[in-house]
Amino acid sequence: MPEYETIIYDVLTPGIVKIIQNRPFARNALDLQMTYDLNSAFDRAAQDDEIKVIILTGSDPHFSAGHDLRGDGGKKLQEDFSVVGTWTGFENDGAHGRFAREREIYLDMTRRWRDLPKPTIAQVSGKCIAGGLMLAWACDIIIASEDAMFQDPVVVMGVCGVEFFMHPWELGPRKAKEFLFTAEWWTAAEGYRLGMVNHVVPREEIEDFTLTLAKKIAEKPLFALKMTKKAVNQTLDTMGQQIAIDSVFGLHQLCHSHNEKIYGIPIDPAGIPQTDKKDKRSN
Ligand code: ZN
C-alpha cells in the first residue's frame, strides 16, 4: 500500500474510505505533495472495487486553507511527482510554465477528482478558503458543520477567482458576483440556503452524520451509483460547465500575466497574507 506524507487513508467500514488532509500546521493548505498524495489516494479508492463511497475531510480544526502560497521551500519540483497531464514544461519562464503548472495541479487535477466515478462527500468543518473550495466543489455532496466558513478572497490578489471556476454553478450568478466582489466570509447556513451545501449539522455530530449518509449510499449497487453520478455530471457538461471553466481559466491566466507585468509576481502583493510571502509563484 502506498505511503502518504500529507494525508491519511482510513477505511472506516467496508465500502467507505475517509481521506483526511493532514497538514494541520498549515491549516491543511494544499502544497504539491498533498496534491499528488490526494490524487494517489483518490485513484486507489476509485480502483478498489471494495470501496463505494469516498469521504474527503481535513484534520481539525480546518477543512482547507487553499493553495499553500509558501510552497514547500523548493524541496521538490513538479517533476518529482507522477505527472497526470501531457502539457508539462513546468519550468518554462513566463506564462508558458505558469499555464502548464496551474493546468496540471489545479484545473486538470480538480476535474479529474470531480469525475471520479464513485460518490464523494466533502465533510467540511472550520475554514474552507479559495483552493479549498475547489476541493469541496469537486465532491458530489457537501456536509458542513455549523462553524464552517467559506471564502474566495483572490480578487484582492488581483485575480478573478480560483482556477476551477465553479462559483456561478454553485452559488448562482448574482450571489457568485457578490461572493467574489466582496471577498467576504460566508457561513455554512448561507451555503445551504444557496444550494451549495447539502446539510448543516452541529460540529460534534458531523462525523456520525456523514458516515450515516455514506452508508446509505454504499448500500446501493456500485454500477448504478457510477452511472447516476455520470448522468448528473454529464448533464452539467452538456449545459456547458466544462467549457465555461476552461474558458475562465484563460482569464485567470491573463490576471496572473497582468500582475507579473505590474508587480513582478503573478498576484497583487497587497493580497498576500504576511506569513505567506516566501513563495508567490501561484495562487
Ligand atoms: Zn492561479
- Reported as a single tens digit per residue, the pLDDT across 234-256 is 999 999 999 999 999 999 999 99
Q: Mean pLDDT throughout 48-60?
A: 96
Q: What is the pLDDT of residue 274?
A: 67
CA–centroid distance, residue 101 to ligand 1 (Å): 9
Structure confidence by residue, pLDDT tens digits, 263-273: 999 999 998 87
Nearest to 152 by CA among 81, 141, 142, 170: 170
CA–centroid distance, residue 160 to ligand 1 (Å): 9
CA–centroid distance, residue 194 to ligand 1 (Å): 26
CA–centroid distance, residue 103 to ligand 1 (Å): 9
Structure confidence by residue, pLDDT tens digits, 91-135: 899 899 999 999 999 999 999 999 999 999 999 999 999 999 999
CA–centroid distance, residue 202 to ligand 1 (Å): 34
Eight-class DSSP state of 78? G
> How distant, in Å, are the alpha carbons of 198, 212, 233 from that of 230?
19, 23, 5
Class of domain 7-276 as given by CATH: alpha beta
Indicate the domain borders of the chain.
7-276
Strands 141-145, 127-129: pairing kind = unpaired
Question: Can you give the pTM of this predicted structure?
Answer: 0.94
Grid coordinates representing 29? 493548505
CA–centroid distance, residue 166 to ligand 1 (Å): 14
Query: Is it the case that residue 279 has pLDDT exceeding 50?
Result: no
Give percent above pLDDT 70 in the chain.
Answer: 95
CA–centroid distance, residue 264 to ligand 1 (Å): 15
DSSP of 173-212: HHHHHHHHHH---EEHHHHHHTTS-SEEE-GGGHHHHHHH
Strands (E), 104-251: 120-124, 127-129, 141-145, 149-151, 186-187, 199-201
CA–centroid distance, residue 102 to ligand 1 (Å): 6
Query: Is it the case that residue 191 has pLDDT exceeding 70?
Result: yes
